[in-house]
Structures are given as structure tokens and as C-alpha cells.
Amino acid sequence: MAVLLTEQEISEALGDLAGWKHEGDALVKECEFANFVQAFAFMTRVAMRAEKIDHHPDWSNSYNRIHISLTSHDAGGLTSKDLALAAAINRELSK
Ligand SMILES: C[C@H](O)[C@H](O)[C@H]1CNC2=NC(N)=NC(=O)C2=N1
């Protein structure tokens, strides 16, 4: 099982993760797109990345908005896998 990050490790990492906030045991981000198709295309790209790193977002979609929450369920909090997925999501958003 992955090791939980310390508060200091989390706040340091957030410096490089634009738009992400630390809430409880999760990193959260709100995304807005031009329309539903753009939002769903983004979710599909992220789904492929999530499968590759075997770490998956908790998220919800309403038309052009997506609420994303990342946590490591098996570890009971934030791990390096959440940071890796948050960085991968930001890379997809910047394309
Ligand atoms: C067996 C497999 O590694 C686990 O089920 C993985 C898959 N994806 C996961 N994703 C997230 N966010 N948390 C997990 O604990 C988790 N566990």
C-alpha cells in the first residue's frame, strides 16, 4: 500500500498544481469547458491516463462542468499517486 503524504509534502506539491485545493483527504478541482462534448472528451482522455497509472478520479459532470476529487482509497488519504494523477490532469487541460 502506498505511503500517505505529510501536510508539508501536500502543500509543497500544491505549489506546482495549478487549480487544485486540499480538502479533507482529497485534492479537488473544478473545470469548465465550452460545452458537454469538450468536457466529455477531456474525461475520456483522463480515463485513459488513469487506467495507465492504475489510479482513478472520483468525479461528476454536469453539462460543461466537471468536479474532480482525488484520493487514494486503499491508503485512506493522499499519496504520490494522487499528485501524479493531478499533474496528468493538468497536462490534459493545457492541451
Ligand atoms: C487493485 C487496484 O490497484 C486498486 O483497486 C486501485 C485502482 N484505482 C484506485 N484509485 C484510487 N483513487 N484509489 C484507489 O485506492 C485505487 N485502487
The string of pLDDT tens digits covering residues 15-53 is: 999 999 999 999 999 999 999 999 999 999 999 999 999
Q: Which residue has the least CA distance to atom 2 on ligand 1?
A: 54
Ligand 1 nearest-atom number relative to CA 57: 12
Q: Which residues line ligand 1 (CB under 6 A)?
A: 54-56, 72-74
What is the rounded CA–CA span in Å between residue 26 and residue 45? Answer: 21
Domains, the chain, in order of start with CATH, read: 21-93 (3.30.1360.20)
In angstroms, the Cα distances linking 76 to 4, 12, 36, 90 are 8, 20, 32, 23
Whether pLDDT at 1 is above 70: no
pLDDT tens digits, 49-85: 999 999 999 999 999 999 999 999 999 999 999 999 9
Does ipTM come in above 0.90?
yes
As given in the structure block, the three cell numbers for residue 43 are: 474525461
The residue with greater pLDDT, 1 or 6, is 6
Bridge partner residues of 70 (DSSP): 27
